[in-house]
Structure 1
């Protein structure tokens, strides 16, 4: 029976320990002391940088039995995010494909069984390191390695296992390697390591916006899109949106219906997040609004811009911004010199509902990410990976409105407002934070 999480055996041992205490309290202590026990500790695996898409690389894995008794059988498992793949596996390994769920991206998992004795105090490794390949869309990816005394297979959502076709691989002793110290693993029957894998690749983030047309008094739809044109996918820290899209509405308009992924940060200005903490190549988000044209403001226009977080993978900055032009009957296009104007409104209402997927399409998953808080662009695939949380969001039922402002607040000020508006509920910090 496959176990779905390395923590389960720890729970069983905790229950056993409680039972032992009960026996002692009753005057009947356990017959065997717990001193003789296995212990598994992985050696350090360095981050893997600069991998070229389409190339393969090996994963050097060592571990020590830090316990006081031999182990009859162990398992090594390797889980990689979607930018990486497994090459030919040995016949003593099986592979699973695991679909994305909740806030976790999809993965490909290989579990290898080694039916041989592992002696205490000795360092072991597979006689041939497991090989992985960087796919064309690799960029910031994760590798998780687990050594355990039990079969550590994936849980629900995994495909049927496919057995490897290569020659079986055995464990060999590494007398030249320094063994890990006793008690160096917090859990005696398993240990895990998270490894950052960075590919030499790029991803082109870009934004577009509809050109609006209508008469004074009309309510018109506005569609703004964020797209990752690739070729790489981009994975951020868990709880962090991939980026933020800053939207300034044309002066003389009022937002009558907002978007669930967007927070109002000032009059006529919005900061929009992403549905997950990753975006696949060719994917993105669509933000829809409804605007009422209150009056013609000469020379006014709106704008869309990606937030200013560092994106070293994005070499094309020309498509990071675009204008929102408004053609009004009898007044011509309002797009021009971006001069000030407006209808005099000074307040904006963003609604108080929790962020959700209402009014947003695209994205890479179903769990919504708030637009408030840092977009996490300065992080890299670091220590441990999904969606940016937010505070309040704009109302999506049309009850409240936000008036477009013609004053030319800098994009940086809008970004600062977004940071102040959101609660930034980050679930956990991934190891990529040290690298992106």
Structure 2
């Protein structure tokens, strides 16, 4: 059994000695016990940047001020840039870290710099030299964040192990009042002149009536830039229309049905990334020239001038040849074939034909079974032809037998009539 702490026993005795009146007195004086007197630090010194080109750099000079009434004994300034930017050099009093994407925040790099200098109330300081930030080949819409703290913010749990910089340390020097900014965290947009080519890839499908085939179509950001939509930007979507004559059995991930098509999103717009949408389609009907499509939605994308790859076809080739009509409609010589549920027949090796050929008849219900017809006999599942014969080769012999039976019956009646007359 754990031994009670002496300090805990002393605390309990003190509470008992205070009594109810003492507890009430404590409850009515929160300012003396609950409020913390901390410095009110703000950061600034940077403005939005635009017109950069890959390889260009900007110099970032942070300005720190204290708007509070308490002196900051030490300050930390954190620089953070999204993945299209990078630090040219990191001072030795700064810790650099690569942070993975999480909570809708993109991948980024940080440099947290410690300044062992006091910042008095009302004082304003700036760094004695700027931190150089460069635009990478993938830069487009990026962001620079500055943050100031009066306590060590520590490393990000989602990042790599922090690494000390190797450049000479940076220091804070006195600056003119009024340029420190007004917030503890400042986000600054950095825009680079660049392009990102969004592309879609279609598919060529092939199967027989009743088959379920997998359709895989794709979206790709071919770069060179990565794309991070800013607040207010309309999200780009992928619109997928399956070929006519098919039914979607299973839709792709990140897709929803909308107005006869499927509208899909994507997980990443990093350069070189893509999203594959896999659909399971059942072929219900043969439609000559059946075709679907995959296309990008029509939101404005000034960074993507090439529109030739914003649309692609999804073709469907239904095995068996010829065109089909409605369910049970006639096709070819002596055979009938329609949408899912119709039977097929033909001659000389065609589907369901005679001379030992093999054919398939498909049940009309969703996910119906199929049966294989070989030489006029049926094996496997059910067929949709009622009591009719499954193949064209068995129809004529059956009709001949029926005609012979009728003739024989008529002859027998004639003989019986003559006998009665005699």
TM-score by length of 1: 0.64
Gaps of at least 5 residues in structure 2 are 1-22, 325-337, 341-365, 368-422
What is the aligned partner in structure 2 of residue 106 from structure 1? 107
In structure 2, distance between residues paired with 1:224 and 1:117:
60
Task: Map 1:336-351; keep pairs closer than 5 Å.
Answer: none
**Aligned-partner SS, 2:290:** coil
What is the aligned partner in structure 1 of residue 72 from structure 2? 71
Residues 94-140 of structure 1: CA distance to partner in whole angstroms, max 9, x if unpaired? Answer: 10111223533221110001111212212211011111111111111
What is the aligned partner in structure 2 of residue 423 from structure 1? none
Evaluate the alpha carbon distance shift between residue 139 and residue 260 of structure 1 in structure 2; reply closer, same or farther with a 3 A threshold.
same
Is 1:62 paired with 2:55?
Answer: no
**Aligned-partner SS, 2:236:** coil
In structure 1, distance between residues paired with 2:125 and 2:24:
38
- Asked if structure 1 preserves the Cα contact closer than 8 Å seen for 2:63 and 2:179, the reply is no
Is 1:215 paired with 2:208?
Answer: yes
Of 258, 270, 294, which aligns to 1:304? 294
Evaluate the alpha carbon distance shift between residue 238 and residue 27 of structure 1 in structure 2; reply closer, same or farther with a 3 A threshold.
closer
In structure 2, distance between residues paired with 1:39 and 1:266:
54
Q: CA RMSD in A?
A: 3.1
**C-alpha deviation, 1:153, in angstroms:** 2.7
Number of equivalenced pairs: 308
What is the aligned partner in structure 2 of residue 235 from structure 1? 228
Evaluate the alpha carbon distance shift between residue 294 and residue 240 of structure 1 in structure 2; reply closer, same or farther with a 3 A threshold.
farther
In structure 1, distance between residues paired with 2:277 and 2:318:
22
Task: Map 1:400-419; keep pairs closer than 5 Å.
Answer: none
**C-alpha deviation, 1:266, in angstroms:** 2.7
Is 1:86 paired with 2:87?
Answer: yes
- Asked if structure 1 preserves the Cα contact closer than 8 Å seen for 2:209 and 2:286, the reply is yes
In structure 1, distance between residues paired with 2:33 and 2:301:
58
In structure 1, distance between residues paired with 2:318 and 2:33:
86
**C-alpha deviation, 1:291, in angstroms:** 1.1
TM-score by length of 2: 0.66
In structure 1, distance between residues paired with 2:323 and 2:173:
74
In structure 1, distance between residues paired with 2:162 and 2:45:
28
In structure 2, distance between residues paired with 1:343 and 1:270:
23
Bigger helix fraction: 2
Task: Map 1:355-434; keep pairs closer than 5 Å.
Answer: none
Is 1:244 paired with 2:237?
Answer: yes
Evaluate the alpha carbon distance shift between residue 203 and residue 180 of structure 1 in structure 2; reply closer, same or farther with a 3 A threshold.
closer
